[in-house]
Structure 1
Amino acid sequence: MSLVRSAAALAVHAYTASGAVIAWLALQSAWDHDPRTALLWLCFACFVDATDGFAARAVDVRRHAAWIDGARLDDIVDFLTYVFVPMAVLWDQGQLAGSLGLAAVAAVLIASGLGFSNLQAKTQDYFFTGWPSYWNLIAVYAVAWRWSATATSLLLMVLAALVFVPIKYVYPSRTVTLMRPTLIFGFLWAAQVVLIVWWLPAPPAWLMWSSVAYPAYYFALSLWLNVNSRRTKE
């Protein structure tokens, strides 16, 4: 039985590590100037990232595969799928270019590298500290809306700076407050994002605008919880 449990734990770690393979496939699509396929691969990577934690807890990987640091593995894969490959997609599509674009890429890679290495990036009450490096989602909206290279570069640099601002952001699958509506709303939004990518290069306007509702909810909830937390401390 112990051997079976160890095998199950290793299988979950392999499932997490498969995100690196998905990142390679997405990068290859970016090289081929195929943003739709690249972003679809990144959507699949998000699915793996959203489900591997539940699987890890179900088979108790910390007990049955203790010699593998699942959190470190997850961060390595996430850096590829949430940070590195999205920058390649944006550069290939002309949403980043020239010295300003290079500065934006450098800001994102350095800030996210430091952010992923921050021991306080995830709080004990299940929040992210600082902008959680959702660069893959920025890539989806930038490509779908065809933002200019200047606008995209400036937005990336602002968000890169927010990595270091100690604002707490909701961790959708772990933050207790309003978890159920957050997950339901998030699931519907994820379906919208997949449809946006599927219908590239011209997703319908109604889909694009309605999809903004969840990010607005996410930021509003995060802000509200930050304000309430400060009031409680006072």
Structure 2
Amino acid sequence: MLPFRFSDFAAASVHVFTALGAVCGLMAALAAFDGAWERMFIWLGVALVIDAIDGTFARLFQVEQRLPRFSGERLDLVVDYVTYVFVPVLALLQAKYLTGTGGLIIGALILLSSLYHFSDLASKGDDYSFVGFPAIWNVVAFYVFTLSPPGWVTYTALLLCVALTFVPIHWVHPVRVKRWRTLTLAVTAAWSIAAVAIIATGFPPPAWAAIVLSASAVYFVWLTIDLSFRPDVEHSV
């Protein structure tokens, strides 16, 4: 009988914690089928939080060393594909933001381009940035639900994001960016507050929250362009 070691149990628990993101994806999909969009985004938000903190736990409990047979990175990619890509596409179709044959084609392009991104071994730069659009379709879908733009704007924006998957510009991580770090963290905090307010009050959102989300998007796009085309700048910490 193998001896019980708390360290191994703790390491395994981190994998279980990561895997709970898939359960969140299931609950979000069920909410999408019910048309309960706020509930769906709550579950996607919980999955986002899990994804944001499980790496810290993995390093704390030395998961890679304790359980070398199991890949936390591979597990994370599987869960992320469900919650970042598949469920958001399902939601856009269920909510009729994507309709007809054209909508199905765009949905398929999102799924396929995201598979390319997730399987690309060069999808992350040495500075922890993402090379090409980082398949954050959960965030894109949230913007579509929040702003409810005309159909042609939605379709154009989605196709642009698909195309940017294959363009090797660096999309910065909001926490690991050194340049403008204080401002970036402030914008991220403001975005989070606005997102919580929108989910709490429901769609359509309060005007101020929609403005905060729009301004945040402009800031992060500007920051990505600034850092992508200024290789002399130190990007990460």
TM-score, normalized by the shorter chain, greater than 0.5: yes
After TM superposition, the structure 1 = structure 2 runs for residues 9-48 of structure 1, keeping only pairs within 5 Å, are: 9-48=11-50
- How many corresponding residue pairs? 232
Q: CA RMSD in A?
A: 2.0
After TM superposition, the structure 1 = structure 2 runs for residues 138-217 of structure 1, keeping only pairs within 5 Å, are: 138-217=140-219
8 Å contact from structure 2 (residues 227, 233) kept in 1: no
Correspondence for 1:73: 75
- 1:102 and 1:118, CA in 2 relative to 1: closer, same or farther beyond 3 A? same
Distance 1:54 1:213 in 2: 30
8 Å contact from structure 1 (residues 43, 194) kept in 2: no
Does residue 88 in structure 1 map to residue 90 in structure 2?
yes
- 1:116 and 1:159, CA in 2 relative to 1: closer, same or farther beyond 3 A? same
Q: What amino acid is aligned across from residue 80 of structure 2 in structure 1?
A: D
Q: Any unmatched runs of 5+ in structure 1? A: none
Does residue 131 in structure 1 map to residue 133 in structure 2?
yes
2:171 aligned counterpart, secondary structure: strand
8 Å contact from structure 1 (residues 97, 149) kept in 2: no
Distance 1:9 1:169 in 2: 31
Percent identical among aligned pairs is 34
For residues 104-146 of structure 1, what are the alpha-carbon distances to aligned partners after superposition, in whole Å with 9 as ceiling and x for unaligned? 1011000001110000011122110000111111111211222
8 Å contact from structure 1 (residues 172, 183) kept in 2: yes
8 Å contact from structure 1 (residues 9, 65) kept in 2: yes
- 1:58 and 1:22, CA in 2 relative to 1: closer, same or farther beyond 3 A? same
Deviation at 1:56, TM superposition (A): 1.3
Q: What amino acid is aligned across from residue 223 of structure 2 in structure 1?
A: L
TM-score by length of 2: 0.91
Deviation at 1:100, TM superposition (A): 1.3
Q: Any unmatched runs of 5+ in structure 2? A: none
For residues 20-44 of structure 1, what are the alpha-carbon distances to aligned partners after superposition, in whole Å with 9 as ceiling and x for unaligned? 0000000000011111111111111
Q: What amino acid is aligned across from residue 72 of structure 2 in structure 1?
A: G
Deviation at 1:184, TM superposition (A): 4.2
